[in-house]
Amino acid sequence: MLAIAWIRDNRALLERTARDKGLGVSIIGDVLEADETRRRLIADAERLRKRRNELARETGEHKRRGETESAAALTEEAKELGVRLDEVAQEEARAARRFEELMLLVPNPVSADTPIGASDADNVEVRRVGVPRDFAFAPRDHVELGELHGMIDIPRAVRMAGARSYVLKGAGTRLHRAVQQLAMDLLEERGYTLLEVPILMREEAMTAAGFFPAGRDQTYAVEENTWLAGTGEVPLISYYRDEVLDLAEPARLAAATPCFRKEVGSAGRDTRGLYRVHQFAKVEQVVLCRRDPELADRLLAELVANAEQLLRLLELPYRVMAVCTGDQAAKTHKQFDLETWMPSRGAYGETHSASNVLDFQARRANLRYRDTDGRLQYAYTLNNTMVATPRILIPLLENHQQTDGSIAIPAALRPYLHGEKLLTPPQAEEEQEA
């Protein structure tokens, strides 16, 4: 959410932002029109209240002078004015609701260095780390590897829960947990406060984080005013909601949570395997800081660097992408995605997303701090995926597979896997024993 005064002064910029993000340009005109209507009705109501007070005073004066006839006329006028005031108050309430609904649709302006584009095809590569492996054999995809090792079971999951479901078992479960714990340990070493948070969120929390109203169709409703969060960003943003914080140093938070998304609009895309599923797990980073654009840029780089360090420890080739306007959410000011090489796709696939949203979320969540002059200011908020699994298992299994289907374990993961260096398919183990 943006300040309405700022919206009034920057209409052209916001209309360009709405167009570049693929939103309706009319949103800006609509919100300004609603604001004008709301302010006019507020002024009308204030004028009527003022006149009502004057009538009360005049009526009292007439009564004191014994002028009952004129006092009665003034009383009648006051009654008629009261009826009109009630009507205006109702119109004002409707206008306020309309204004608030439209304000939630106004997009955050993008940074000056954000690429202009219509979709992820227009994202710009910033850097590439590692070289995709040149296999000397026909590599298996992660589903084949998972079935070979007995670590992924999709048919039974689909029978239980429908499409885009999976079961991890044995080594698959251990890998799933191991990458999460490695991510959490790295963040704790870097001074992040680790939280265990709820994922059943009230609508206010979903709105505060900027996922409502636009993302409502992606979210599972549990009951009235209760939703399953699609990311730990939602509870982390609302953790300090309505509080005044000490942000002399940025507040660094992290949480590992299950996540749920409907994947509406993704029909027919990435239906095989673990890439696009309804239930997954994420380790999320969220940072709150002072209103300092240079500081926010440094913190965004820090968030990206944390995720890059994890990918290097997992020994995976990846690239960093500057996300274009058309691939950004309405809330985003600046965004980088990390894409990891997935042999089965013959391409890089998104595994991380880092965003600076300025004070867009803080205004909704009422997250404030006092500046050096003691004035209350809205904070800046930033977020990034430290790891999302099981999606990360796709490159982890595929890039580290061996000719016989065994899977090499990166050194950084071995302490979380009882020191295992190699996962060997059960059939190969039986043949070795024989």
Domains for the chain: give ranges and CATH numbers.
Answer: 4-103 (1.10.287.40), 120-433 (3.30.930.10)
- Nearest of 434, 431, 421 to residue 171 by alpha carbon: 421
pLDDT tens by residue, 73-119: 888 888 888 899 999 999 999 999 999 999 999 999 999 999 999 99
**Matching residue, tokens 């947990």:** 177
pTM beyond cutoff 0.85: yes
Q: What is the pLDDT along the chain (434 residues), one digit of tens a residue?
A: 899 999 999 999 999 999 999 998 899 999 999 999 999 999 999 999 998 888 888 888 888 888 888 888 888 888 888 899 999 999 999 999 999 999 999 999 999 999 999 999 999 999 999 999 999 999 999 999 999 999 999 999 999 999 999 999 999 999 999 999 999 999 999 999 999 999 999 999 999 999 999 889 999 999 889 999 999 999 999 999 999 999 999 999 999 999 999 987 666 667 789 999 999 999 999 999 999 999 999 999 999 999 999 999 999 999 999 999 999 999 999 999 999 999 999 999 999 999 999 999 999 999 999 999 999 999 999 999 999 999 999 999 999 999 999 999 999 999 999 999 999 998 755 545 44
Q: What is the reported pLDDT for 429? A: 53
pLDDT tens by residue, 74-87: 888 888 888 999 99
- Nearest of 280, 281, 299 to residue 289 by alpha carbon: 299
Task: Give the catalytic positions in this structure.
Answer: 261, 276, 350, 353, 391
Distance CA 137, CA 131 (A): 17
DSSP state of 401: B
- Nearest of 237, 251, 256 to residue 196 by alpha carbon: 256
